Structure 1
Amino acid sequence: MTARPHRDDVRIAVCGLLGGLLLWALGLRNGVPVPGIPDRFALVALVVMSGTELLRRTAPRTALVLAGGALALDLCTGGLIATIVMFTDVVYAAVLYGSPAMARRIPIASEVITVLATLVPVALLRNPQALLFGVGTGVLTIAPAWTGAIIRQHRDAAQAARLRAEQTALLAEMDRTQAVAGERARMARELHDLVANHLSAIAIHSTAAQAIDDPAATREALGVIRENSVQGLAEMRRLIGLLRDSAGTSGDEPAATPTLGGLDALIAQARTNGATSGLTFTLDDARHGDGEGAAAKLVAPVELAAYRIVQESLTNALKHAAPGEVRVRIAHERGGALTVTVSSPYADRPGPRAPGSGAGLVGMRERIALLGGAFEAGPESGTGGRIWRVRAALPAPEEEERR
């Protein structure tokens, strides 16, 4: 089923038909009719050519074939300028709206026809004026065909540029969405690692203070609660300041990026928080040093990830571990991976000392995966019984400059 003509094509057809009828009424012809052909056939050619204008977009191939026949009939009847003008428009539309094959072939065919229309009359008539046949044919075919080809090229180029712009905008939006999601996940990990340790200690000692009817133990628990509250608040303020693009922190505030150098303080804090839980904490730093005994300085993302792994593991031990020793081991050989291992006693308990959400293990896995490392956590059999072991292996390139 043929699509309905475009409204602009209807206007062109109506204007061409009315213009041709006006020229016919005024007797304005282009030439003399061929003997034996009634001049009223010019009206038939005009009507057919007007009809082809209705098909110039929807069926350009059919329109071009019909227009060629109508033009031949028009030339035999003396010709109306309106019919000839509409023919050039049909040729132009066939190149512009036709298939890619038509757009390639019509300009070439128009050139061939023009060459033949130039050489054949000159060869037959032996008169230089016969060149006018070629000029007229070129005006009717080559000019509209190449005009349509040029406009089609510009249209296709504009469409391709628009598609590329839309694709670029889509990719940019996808990148923005992924960046926002990644940043939200990073913020969630940082908030969890910063706050969970302090809140777990607060929950554990507040429970102990409620259960033990001993003023000294209560005062000690309240001291631990206050200390963790103050530290947690300071950590939160520092993180909020970083998210607001603050100018930085002063020397009295915690460092913006924790390093492995702060593990001693982290272990000391864990000892304080776990004093009433029957837990002891030890640190085994087996990192390879340079000639003076100092451990190699690693890149900041690796040190931060290792620090957070230890911090979260200690928090989980405070909440879930059975009484016993929690052992933290850091190992790094020059040129090898940095390994972090945290072992804590594992036994059946009626419930954790403080509630957990399971987000800690997820956050640790995400941190290690982002750096291309390996992570495993779960119960194992140890020399002293069942233990819960967390082990992370991080690619550990050293900084080019020591600080």
Structure 2
Amino acid sequence: MARGPHPHRHDAYIAVGGLLGGLVLIGAGLYTRTRHDPVSVLDQDWAVALPLLVMAGCELLRRTRPGPALLVGTAAVVADLPTRGSLATLVMFTDLVYAAVLYGRPAFARRIPWITGLLTVVAAVVPLVAWRTPQALLLGVGVALVSLVPAATGWVVRNHRDTAVAERLRAEQTALLADMDRAQAVLAERSRVARELHDMIANHMSAVAIHSTAALSLDDPETSRQALAVIRENSVEGLAQMRRLIGVLRDSGDERPPTAAPTLDGLEALAEAARGNGLEVTLDARHGKVPTPVELAAYRIVQESLTNALKHAAPGPVTVTLARGAPPGPPRHSDGDGALEVRVTSPYGHRGGPRAPGSGAGLIGMRERAALLGGTFAAGPEDAVWTVRATLPLGDGEGEPA
């Protein structure tokens, strides 16, 4: 706990109030012991006022210097024993014990209840053994009221305060973690939408860019007419898919998805569209039934691979192969284990015709799709052939071979 150099305002009020109350008691002749008490060796008023003044000064330090204040206050209580005694001095001492436990350093605060408890036991047992009278126990009760009770009270209050602080910190940490989770969820959703948008639109926009370049570069009306037909077809399809994606985003609160996700049954239509754009596509799909997440990822990987082949591949055959295989990683012995292997090859080399620019986002998206399913992804040239290879685990028994 931070401790300032100046006394707390409330501590000053306590010190002034205790001092004034003690002086009033002295002026009224009210003491804790009578003049004829054998313990009261010093029966002058100044002898009572001196410990009272010291105790009031200690109250100024009850919050800023609780340890030294308690030690000096204990000395003041001992000095008050030979006098007629002041109730205000004892009351302020109990407050010092309470404050030392509440505001003191943890190690120091833990020791005070044990020390006061030991003093209480000694104050009760020693007089009982020495005087052999039950009234001797009252001395232990008095010591307990002055020291043990305020120490125990301070310890209980400190525990409640520390618990409240810990709960507040835990709540703040929970809120911070919740904010981080929300931020990560938003980032993941943005990445998913970016992948879907790229995979759905890039194919059509690439075809539009390539055929429009061809139409502008060739002075042939028939070629230009065919190119414009392909451009229109891809523009209409791309616009339709864009509208579907916007519908998904707008209706995300609905329990029913507005459109069905593409499946591997649509690979033939995808290959036919690629053939219409000028690619020589051969499709070999022997995948059987696979889980929906794997089906969507495989479809998008094939779609993006064909888009890249349209933009960058040299003239020649493009082969798309889907088959079951072993999952990546160490071998497992479950009958349901398996993986879908996706392989797309296209000619790699100089391309003489028009090309569409690429940003590299397609490769990143394919790699992310494979990683989200715990699979592997690789793309690069292999013997003058550009090869895209992805291995997507199927999970436990979710797909059966056809």
TM-score (norm 2): 0.89
1:232 is aligned to 238
Q: 1:188 aligns with which of 194, 212, 217?
A: 194
* Pair 363,133 (structure 1): closer, same or farther in 2 beyond 3 Å: same
Deviation at 1:350, TM superposition (A): 6.8
* Pair 165,363 (structure 1): closer, same or farther in 2 beyond 3 Å: same
Name which of structure 1's ranges 234-243 and 20-29 shifts more when overlaid on structure 2: 20-29
1:13 is aligned to 15
Q: 2:392 aligns with which of 380, 394, 399?
A: 394
Deviation at 1:139, TM superposition (A): 1.0
Distance 2:110 2:265 in 1: 73
Distance 1:402 1:339 in 2: 13
1:225-280 superposed Cα distances (whole Å, 9 cap, x missing partner): 11111111111111111122365578xxxx52111111000000001112xxxx31
What SS does the aligned partner of 2:319 have? strand
Distance 1:339 1:120 in 2: 88
Deviation at 1:153, TM superposition (A): 1.4
1:29 is aligned to 31
Distance 2:308 2:103 in 1: 70
2:269 is aligned to 265
Runs of 4+ in 1 over 6 A off after TM superposition: 400-403
* Pair 2,41 (structure 1): closer, same or farther in 2 beyond 3 Å: farther
1:62-103 superposed Cα distances (whole Å, 9 cap, x missing partner): 111111111122232211211111000001111112233333
Cα RMSD (Å):
2.3
Distance 2:21 2:354 in 1: 95
1:80 is aligned to 86
State percent identity of aligned pairs.
Answer: 61
* Pair 27,401 (structure 1): closer, same or farther in 2 beyond 3 Å: farther
* Pair 378,244 (structure 1): closer, same or farther in 2 beyond 3 Å: same
What SS does the aligned partner of 1:375 have? strand
Residue identity in the other structure for 1:300: T
1:345-387 superposed Cα distances (whole Å, 9 cap, x missing partner): 1113478611111111111111111111111111121xxxx11
Q: 2:120 aligns with which of 114, 135, 142?
A: 114
TM-score (norm 1): 0.89
Give the conservation status (yes or no) of the 8 Å contact 1:238–1:256.
no
Give the conservation status (yes or no) of the 8 Å contact 2:7–2:60.
yes
Distance 1:99 1:39 in 2: 37
1:300 is aligned to 292
Residue identity in the other structure for 2:389: R
Distance 2:307 2:211 in 1: 13
Residue identity in the other structure for 1:286: R
1:105 is aligned to 111
* Pair 153,401 (structure 1): closer, same or farther in 2 beyond 3 Å: farther
* Pair 20,402 (structure 1): closer, same or farther in 2 beyond 3 Å: farther
Give the conservation status (yes or no) of the 8 Å contact 2:32–2:86.
yes
1:286 is aligned to 286
Deviation at 1:335, TM superposition (A): 4.2
* Pair 350,67 (structure 1): closer, same or farther in 2 beyond 3 Å: farther
How many matched pairs? Answer: 383
1:15-37 superposed Cα distances (whole Å, 9 cap, x missing partner): 21222222223332222462356
Distance 2:353 2:169 in 1: 59
1:290 is aligned to none
Distance 1:350 1:182 in 2: 39
1:97-138 superposed Cα distances (whole Å, 9 cap, x missing partner): 223333332222222222222233344444443333222212
1:243 is aligned to 249
Distance 1:353 1:67 in 2: 91
Deviation at 1:163, TM superposition (A): 1.7
- Structure 2 unaligned runs (5+)? 326-335
Question: Does the alignment pair 1:151 with 2:157?
Answer: yes
